[in-house]
Chain A
């Protein structure tokens, strides 16, 4: 064994969390290697040129929760991170009208007023209540989850902190938080609003990445999770990254490299080496062995604990918890190359270069933001009904963006790319995923969009359909769940990924876990990687 194959730390997985953890460890002076099984870094946050000239952020597609302290600590803007605004959300309605949320508060209120004066008023108060609730629980994001069953000083102090946050809330806020933690997003939204398209669009963010419908209890929390990104004020990290999610990973990669992190591509980890009850390195699929003082996995919980480690090294109850961890993929992605922009009948564009509405709708207002196919809560619940019984939603919820409208470098001049996040596309689809099923998913998406933008088919020059099975196969996420495990109440905070082991340590000494399946969860957030690195450094090695 040469010393060049010996490190202070091995990070399994070059997704954004793995890279963040590596960068933080290297920043503390450690010799770190990241092992990535694919020929590119980024994991589920990658940008690839699927069709020549058309770049896609294949899986994840927006940045909403990337932690400000990570951007700051790793100086990501210096390493190329640019978060571009995604200024609006446009929801076409079944009656031919639309509902839009613009980036200006007054414009949005005016727009809502058109549909319901009552909702226009309620909207402000709703936003305040949600923001306050998010602010109240935000400190928890950066907290190492205490184990409520433990009597250790650290855990007791942690519990005390959580208690203090709760005590700092007003009665009203406390109720709001308690309700949010248990309600369905439909129940929550119906208390506030009457406009179907508004409720549908809001409810949609409560189901993303879960295998639940808007009427399932617990979905209101996910809604809140998405509000977190909005309370950092000017710092807000919400938008579309230059060059897509690959731009985010790329900047973290550059930062990690500048800090001296070594990155090995096509390095597929077979197993974690264990000696004297401690992780001491890894064995690669090609037989190479790499030694280290600690190993951190940034893969999903199932691969981390059921594949990389022999079960004899882990307690039975822990293994059972991980086996039961819900990682049901429920969403797919349809990436489309366009020769021109589809024209939505609810708000058609008229090209007029003199007034700035450019060719092919290039300055069309709605295409700059998200287009959400979520006309009502019932619509989404019906889409869920299909999925419950193993079917692809006939009329799915679709969250569309046109990355080339925000970053023109994503497509050849005058052409465009379109990213469609689709739910529901169940991992356990009846009959299993194959090309025919993939076509069926693609067709469901196009047929749905066609109802609102009849010219969609003539715009398409290429299309890539990604099922949860593809997410599993390409990005290596078991079950194809975009959060590495659903954000359900029984799978967050001190229960993520398993009771007693939510502090980024694992039952195997020297083996750590810092990915989306750990606290505080998924999204291109980076917090698990950062927090895990800090815990690793605390343990000293």
Chain B
């Protein structure tokens, strides 16, 4: 049989997945949605506690005397500044300063890091490690991972974990025990809400899942598939490889590539760090000269939508999940960019999109919230229409408890 892999949680997730909605993720099957309608799963992220199987995330353990040096060289962050127990989100680029992939780096021990990635990067890492005293091991299939997201997650962890998580700060990690099982808990996620990611050995996966589900039921724990997470990540202004940008290593043509600046990752590009890193020269140049593109938020005007749909006698029709389709964005009759993911935000009650706009249309006045008036293509009864929208700062939504 030519089956994809299943995760160590499959026994539980498959029993709960009512609509048989499965998605492929890095060679694994994961649940797209557990229920026929996404509402409850989405709201678990925003209102209670969402349990998401994120095992397929590609994971490398990078170990050795030169582990920090390798990551310092490959990624745009200043790795030498990272303390043990710290997590850093980063992108990494090719020589031209174009993004290859993005993920998180966890400093597990002084000489041990875990790097997550959307796609396999072993070859790239190995090529950059020539002459270094470092080992790079892929552990994707050995380490199970749960993303635990939502405002009630801290309360649940405090009930199940041996050590309290109250002191665990945003983008920090700790070792802990859940029902006797050794886990690493990091204060990270892909939803822009309060949340944690729990890393454990494969063999312990079900024990951790069951413990969380049992105790979490008092706090509204809900198994959540990746489709609801996809809506939340757009609200949080977080992009996805192969959806919102193309890896420089897969791009067919130059214009498919994006720099970290173009994706709004300025804060992750440590141009002040010491020494060489891949793409440094190109990124310095782009920093000086400004970027041709930039990822921004678009908030589509509901009244405008009502008007456009009203012309054919319909109330606005909105897809029930995030749309991964490229939609032209116009100013007047000129195309100035495109939206790469759009979704209805059940919380903001606004149709929102991650969009890539050309200079100068992406500019938002300093200190301002709202910039250019644009129009985004939508299809109304098989006809192409343009809905009025505003350029806004990302993220669309950031609750006060996200970093608290």
Q: Do A and B bind each other?
A: yes
Q: Are B36 and A104 in contact (CB under 8 A)?
A: yes
Determine if A234 is an interface residue (Cβ-Cβ < 8 Å).
Answer: yes
Q: Which residues from chain B contact A359 at a C-beta distance below 8 Å?
A: 214, 217-218
Smallest CB–CB gap between A80 and chain B, Å? Answer: 10
Determine if B349 is an interface residue (Cβ-Cβ < 8 Å).
Answer: yes
Q: Are B36 and A77 in contact (CB under 8 A)?
A: no
Q: Mark A216-248, 1 if CB is under 8 A from B, else 0.
A: 000000000000000111110100001000000
Residue of B15, B43, B214, B220 with most partner-chain A CB within 10 A: B220
Determine if A107 is an interface residue (Cβ-Cβ < 8 Å).
Answer: yes
Of chain A, the residue at the smallest CB distance from B309 is A233
Q: Are B219 and A413 in contact (CB under 8 A)?
A: yes
CA distance A85 to B37 in the complex (A): 10
Determine if B79 is an interface residue (Cβ-Cβ < 8 Å).
Answer: no
CA distance A358 to B209 in the complex (A): 12
Segment with Cβ contacts to A, from B80-88, B112-120, B194-202, B315-323: B315-323
Smallest CB–CB gap between B177 and chain A, Å? Answer: 19
Task: Decide yes or no: A358 and B43 within 8 Å by CB, A235-B316, A353-B213 being known contacts.
Answer: no
Contact-residue bracket for chain B: 35 or more
**Cβ < 8 Å to A, chain B residues 12-64:** 12, 15-16, 35-37, 39-40, 43, 46-48
Q: Which residues from chain A contact B303 at a C-beta distance below 8 Å?
A: 72
Q: Are B39 and A358 in contact (CB under 8 A)?
A: no
Task: Decide yes or no: A353 and B217 within 8 Å by CB, A234-B344, A408-B48 being known contacts.
Answer: yes
Q: Are A353 and B214 in contact (CB under 8 A)?
A: yes
Q: Are B39 and A72 in contact (CB under 8 A)?
A: no
Task: Decide yes or no: A413 and B302 within 8 Å by CB, A82-B47, A135-B315 being known contacts.
Answer: no
Determine if A261 is an interface residue (Cβ-Cβ < 8 Å).
Answer: no
Q: Which residues from chain A contact B316 at a C-beta distance below 8 Å?
A: 233-235
**Cβ < 8 Å to A, chain B residues 302-348:** 302-303, 315-318, 320, 344, 346-348
Determine if A355 is an interface residue (Cβ-Cβ < 8 Å).
Answer: yes
Q: Which residues from chain A contact B388 at a C-beta distance below 8 Å?
A: none
Task: Decide yes or no: A408 and B152 within 8 Å by CB, A87-B37, A234-B316, A355-B16 being known contacts.
Answer: yes
Determine if B237 is an interface residue (Cβ-Cβ < 8 Å).
Answer: no
Q: Kindly identify which residue among A84, A102, A231 contacts B47, using a CB–CB cutoff of 8 Å.
A: A84
Q: Kindly identify which residue among A107, A363, A405 contacts B36, using a CB–CB cutoff of 8 Å.
A: A107
Determine if B221 is an interface residue (Cβ-Cβ < 8 Å).
Answer: yes
Q: Kindly identify which residue among A106, A233, A354, A368 contacts B317, using a CB–CB cutoff of 8 Å.
A: A233
Q: Are A85 and B39 in contact (CB under 8 A)?
A: yes
Q: Are B349 and A77 in contact (CB under 8 A)?
A: yes
Closest 3 CB pairs of A and B: A358-B217, A104-B36, A234-B318
Number of A-B contacts (CB under 8 A): 96
Determine if B225 is an interface residue (Cβ-Cβ < 8 Å).
Answer: no
Contact-residue bracket for chain A: 35 or more
Determine if B192 is an interface residue (Cβ-Cβ < 8 Å).
Answer: no
CA distance A193 to B351 in the complex (A): 37
Q: Are A232 and B40 in contact (CB under 8 A)?
A: no
CA distance A408 to B46 in the complex (A): 12
CA distance A170 to B219 in the complex (A): 50
Determine if B133 is an interface residue (Cβ-Cβ < 8 Å).
Answer: no
CA distance A407 to B219 in the complex (A): 9
Q: Which residues from chain B contact A84 at a C-beta distance below 8 Å?
A: 43, 47
Q: Are B220 and A408 in contact (CB under 8 A)?
A: yes
Q: Are A355 and B12 in contact (CB under 8 A)?
A: yes
Q: Are A354 and B15 in contact (CB under 8 A)?
A: yes
Q: Are A72 and B220 in contact (CB under 8 A)?
A: no
Q: Which residues from chain A contact B210 at a C-beta distance below 8 Å?
A: 353-354
Q: Which residues from chain A contact B213 at a C-beta distance below 8 Å?
A: 353-354, 356, 358
Q: Which residues from chain B contact A53 at a C-beta distance below 8 Å?
A: none
Of chain B, the residue at the smallest CB distance from A78 is B348
**Cβ < 8 Å to B, chain A residues 64-104:** 68, 71-72, 77, 82-85, 87, 102-104
Q: Which residues from chain A contact B317 at a C-beta distance below 8 Å?
A: 233-234
CA distance A358 to B221 in the complex (A): 9
Residue of A71, A103, A234 with most partner-chain B CB within 10 A: A234
Determine if A158 is an interface residue (Cβ-Cβ < 8 Å).
Answer: no
Of chain A, the residue at the smallest CB distance from B209 is A354
